Amino acid sequence: MARRIWIATVLAVGMAWQVAAQDSGIRFVRAPEAGDTGPRITIQITEEDMARQGAPAEAPATALGPVAPPSDMAYDGASAWFWAEVPSQMPADPTRFWAAQEHLALAPEASGLGAPRLDTVSRIAATHGREILAATIGTQVSPAFALAVIAAESAGRPEAVSGAGAQGLMQLIPATAERFGVEDSMDPSQNIAGGVAYLDWLMGEFDRDPILVLAAYNAGEGAVTRAGGVPDYDETRTYVPRVLAAWGLARGLCNTPPDLVSDGCVFQVMN
């Protein structure tokens, strides 16, 4: 009895599927048996059909995220205290200059930068002030900014030569000296003119951002561009706040202290 009920159920379901298929326009065709010579249906897909369908969609390309900028929190060198408060990344932002000056004025660690002393900066202004003023005319470089760089680079010694071959008051390497028309790096006037010309070029290259300009003066503009900001070189990371500390002294020697590193200045003491 149960077997008859099961067979009846299967038959009923099969009939229901046939009716549904007929109502929907679906036609069931049995597979041909071996040796069957009945009519065949030939399906041909033309190039026009393929064109109408369109090319198969390609897998979307994997988007690469932006290169991570240098992390100031990851830098743990001697001047990490400075960079924890002053952003070092590109793009250029001249306003970080104000944050840097304020931080230098308040941080007790600033005394360990090895920044030039006031008497050194004053002596350089007295000895080379006229040459600095002449070199900075018509540039984006304040005489006080150039003075700060000289004080940090050579302490005002025209004969200074570094282990890397940088020479003179503004420590020009031979390639930079040649690039800016300096024939004798030991000549103070030529050296100052070449160093100021390089600073002026960097001011244009880095949108007058003193932080990036100083980093590039020390490490090279290529190093700053590749790093996406101030490179994590201990020397460069210490050099930037050291020059900014010297800038605070240098601007105080001007008749009217400049606010920006591009402002004019006439030194109070010049021989």
Kindly list the catalytic residues. Answer: 153
Q: What whole-number distance in Å separates Cα of residue 263 and Cα of residue 253?
A: 14
Q: What whole-number distance in Å separates Cα of residue 82 and Cα of residue 86?
A: 6
Q: What is the DSSP letter of 64?
A: P
Backbone φ and ψ for 157, nearest 5 degrees, come out as -100, 110
Residues composing the chain:
271
| CB-based contacts of 81-86 (< 8 A; 24+ apart in sequence) | 81/107, 81/109, 82/107, 82/109, 82/110, 82/237, 82/240, 82/241, 83/230, 83/237, 86/211, 86/241
Neighbour tally for 126: CB within 10 Å: 16
How many CA atoms lie within 13 Å of 247's alpha carbon, on the beta-carbon side?
27
213 neighbors 107 (Cβ within 8 angstroms):
no
Q: What whole-number distance in Å separates Cα of residue 110 and Cα of residue 115?
A: 8
Which residues partner with 241 through β-bridges? none
